[in-house]
Chain A
């Protein structure tokens, strides 16, 4: 994985794992790699890897069972909340790009519908 060295690496690895959870690449209840394995797999410092799990746990997206390891949450509502949150972030990014280009919200919305129509035909 390539990292943006200006942004916290734990955040980038966490986002990547969250995306895996939302897309089903790491389904609910699946065991996640141990902290050290995560470090090796992602090429990151082991302390950064621990931070990733601390934050995921804090958000209720994974749970550690003593002696067994860390698992993706089986709480469907949490995962749905995460999907919404990620979609919301994508929308904000899109809108801020549009703002930057000087395109109004109405125009942006019209462009999305237009794109939709083109794709359907």
Chain B
């Protein structure tokens, strides 16, 4: 809060992911517009906003997959880079497995890519998600595919996990499994960032919410404080911001 130096090399806070006045334009249109935001370890953040509000673009910049047009995106006070990608796990909404892969191939593929990937942890997660290693990825239902993406992402021992739409297209029971997996890995030394249209799914598991609108940051709030002080749920606040009751 008390940033007076404004320099990237102030005291390094482990596990902090931060954007400073970050903008990303696509064809002259700002997908993310001057967002300054700091996320800390030990929290589960829900990143919210309708389609086109900038959630995925922000996450992709934090993951180091796309570069900001202007502004800084920092992990532990250093600009996001190949180095930070070793500690930041990101699950995108797009499917990204080759069609010839089995569930075990997906794990081996990740093991090649990421030093922090644990095949044992992957096996545990597969069991929880009721997936078999021998299954072909092409034979998976959309719900099973969604669970596989989460299992392979969470099998990394990263400092930051960013899951873009982890609950999309998934039935109620599988959502419970995913929620449990997320909570089991939400330790004080980890930072979790989840985006979802299914706001209700995240009410109890997230402790903070980040609201984006047209690429701009609306607010970053503590959910329990909002309930205690204003009697508002995350869904209520969502309706206030994006619905007709805009303040």
A7: B residues at CB distance < 8 A: 227, 231
Question: Interface range on chain B: under 10, 10 to 19, 20 to 34, or 35 or more?
Answer: 20 to 34
**Residue A29 is within 8 A (CB to CB) of chain B in the complex:** no
Q: Are A39 and B186 in contact (CB under 8 A)?
A: yes
Q: Which of A21-65 contact B (CB under 8 A)?
A: 36, 39-40, 42-48, 51
Number of interface residues of A (CB under 8 A): 18
Q: Are A9 and B184 in contact (CB under 8 A)?
A: no
Q: Which of A1-25 contact B (CB under 8 A)?
A: 3, 5-10
Q: Are B203 and A5 in contact (CB under 8 A)?
A: yes
Q: Are A45 and B186 in contact (CB under 8 A)?
A: yes
Q: Smallest distance from the beta carbon of A35 to chain B beta carbons, Å?
A: 10
B43: A residues at CB distance < 8 A: 47
Cα–Cα distance between A45 and B42 once the two chains are bound (Å): 10
B200 touches which of A5, A42, A44, A45 (Cβ 8 Å): A5
A8: B residues at CB distance < 8 A: 224, 227-228
Q: Smallest distance from the beta carbon of A10 to chain B beta carbons, Å?
A: 6
Cα–Cα distance between A9 and B235 once the two chains are bound (Å): 14
A39: B residues at CB distance < 8 A: 183, 186
A36: B residues at CB distance < 8 A: 184, 187
Number of A-B residue pairs, CB cutoff 8 Å, is 60
Q: Are A44 and B224 in contact (CB under 8 A)?
A: no
**Chain A contact residues, majority secondary structure:** helix
Q: Which residue of A lies closest to B176 (CB)?
A: A43
Q: Which residue of A lies closest to B224 (CB)?
A: A8
Q: Which residue of B lies closest to A9 (CB)?
A: B204
Q: Are A9 and B186 in contact (CB under 8 A)?
A: no
**Residue B106 is within 8 A (CB to CB) of chain A in the complex:** no
Cα–Cα distance between A48 and B202 once the two chains are bound (Å): 13
Q: Which residue of A lies closest to B181 (CB)?
A: A40
B85: A residues at CB distance < 8 A: none
**Residue B188 is within 8 A (CB to CB) of chain A in the complex:** yes
Q: Are A43 and B186 in contact (CB under 8 A)?
A: no
Q: Are B227 and A47 in contact (CB under 8 A)?
A: no
Cα–Cα distance between A51 and B232 once the two chains are bound (Å): 19
Q: Smallest distance from the beta carbon of A113 to chain B beta carbons, Å?
A: 37
Q: Are A9 and B224 in contact (CB under 8 A)?
A: yes
Q: Which residue of A lies closest to B205 (CB)?
A: A45
Q: Are B188 and A46 in contact (CB under 8 A)?
A: yes
**Residue B21 is within 8 A (CB to CB) of chain A in the complex:** no
**Residue B44 is within 8 A (CB to CB) of chain A in the complex:** yes
Provide a sorted-by-A list of 12 A–B residue pairs whose CB atoms are within 8 angstroms. A3-B203, A5-B227, A6-B231, A8-B227, A36-B187, A39-B183, A40-B184, A42-B204, A43-B176, A43-B180, A43-B183, A51-B224
Give B residues with C-beta under 8 Å from A.
42-44, 176, 179-180, 183-184, 186-188, 200, 203-207, 224, 227-228, 231-236
